[in-house]
Structure 1
Amino acid sequence: MKPLQSVAMGLVIVAITARLGGYDALPDPLGWLLVINGLRRLPVAYRQRSTMVWLCVLVLVVSVVLWFPETGTWLDDHDASLRWAANLPQALVLAWFAHTLAGQAVLTDARAARWLRTTATLITVTAMAPVLVFGGGIGALEVPSYVLAALALLMLIWLLFGYSGRVWASREATSADVR
């Protein structure tokens, strides 16, 4: 499996929820392990590769805690914004990954870089939307922000699968292929 395919498959697992007895049958930690596997297989020449791996390890730890139904119930019972805060690291890591990947693509694939930057921007906007929803009391934006967040994640997954065969995204990419 190509590195970006592994990342994309991991994000598919993160995106899908299949509840059985309160637990997610497709646990997000499994998805984050695939993401980390894909990131580790990117060429060493990729800027921020090791930083991204460590940040994803932190997100993995958070996802383990959030996998237990009691944690989600506790967050929801205390304040809806706590759920957002618990998921914020995931969104910010994905936005940064899309932005960093765009930086790798820009030299040889300007169109891919634009799409990845657009996706990074959408993920960042949806990560910050709860500030308006919960902090600003604009409840009418809650559902649209969740829809946009889901679409932005699907867009990232789509792009990762689509770009996985590009030279700048392959495991064999040289420092000349990536910045």
Structure 2
Amino acid sequence: MRQPLLAVAIGLVIVALYSRAGGFDLLPDPIGWALVLGALRTITHRVELSARSVLWVLGIGALLASAVLWWPSVHDWFADADPALGWAIDLPSLTFCAVLCHALSVQARAAGETFATGWLAWTAIGFVLSALAPAVVIGGGVESLRDPAGIVTGLSQVSLFVLCLAYAARAWAGAAESPRDAGE
């Protein structure tokens, strides 16, 4: 794959979009996560082994959680269950996105791209806040933070999508060198 961050962007859009017919999601999240995981090996070839391992574990966890939730009866059960269970089932995907942003920011920093480093680091922080917010809102009963937490989550998702598109052609993001560039 020449630009694996494009596959990540498409996969994340499939995960984020939700359209039900007959109880089933027409854009199954497992397909999106499969695209993301398929691109992960190329993107993280320069990432240290521990971070790469964490990304794989979280990505597979998100894939498995989304596969379980694709079934209407399971999805409805989680929708009616305690909100903390919904948070727990979303935690692998939010944490994956945070770790991915951090890993990409480290790669961008190593390539000397400070602008990309900053945006990716802030997006990672947004995902960390998104992952932790339910503990405060649900566990701490701070309902006034529910809407701001939702906004941070949405902005983090959009930011990651845009950043994947913006930096897809960068070598530090796993893009293959074009034959034209190799000849120069």
Q: TM-score, normalised by structure 1?
A: 0.89
Partner of 1:112: 116
What is the 5 A alignment of 1:110-149? Answer: 110-149=114-153
84 and 51 in structure 1: CA distance in 2 versus 1, 3 angstrom threshold: closer
Residues 46 and 107 in structure 2, CA contact (< 8 A), matched pair in contact too:
no
Cα distance, 1:71 vs. partner? 1.6
Report if the CA contact (8 A) 1:3-1:41 is conserved.
yes
Instruction: Give unpaired runs (5+ residues) of structure 2.
Output: 178-184
Aligned equivalents of 1:4, 1:158: Cα separation in 2: 10
What is the Cα-based RMSD across aligned positions, in Å?
1.7
Matches within 5 A, 1:16-165: 16-42=17-43, 44-47=45-48, 48-49=51-52, 51-107=54-110, 108-165=112-169
Whether the 8 Å CA contact 2:11–2:34 is kept in 1: the answer is yes
Deviation at 1:55? 2.8
**Rounded Cα–Cα distance in structure 2 between residues aligned with 1:105 and 1:20:** 41
- 1:83-129 Cα deviation digits (max 9, x unpaired): 11110111011101100110011022111011000000011101111
Output one character per residue of 1:26-62: Cα deviation in whole Å (capped at 9) or x when no partner.
0110000110111123363333345423431221111
Aligned match for 2:171, one of 164, 167, 172: 167
Residue 11 of structure 1 pairs with residue 12 of structure 2:
yes
Higher mean C-alpha deviation, range 6-15 or range 164-173: 164-173
- How many percent of aligned residue pairs carry the same amino acid? 39
Q: Determine the C-alpha separation between the residues in 2 that align with 1:112 and 1:43.
A: 16
* Residues 42 and 49, structure 1, Cα contact 8 Å, conserved in 2: no
Report the secondary structure of 1:164's partner residue. coil
Number of matched pairs: 173
Shift of 1:146: 1.7
Q: Is the 8 A contact 1:126 1:149 kept in 2?
A: yes
Contact 2:3–2:176 at 8 Å: present in 1 too?
Answer: no
Query: What do residues 60-93 of structure 1 show as CA deviations (whole Å, max 9, x unaligned)?
Result: 1111001112222212323112111110111011
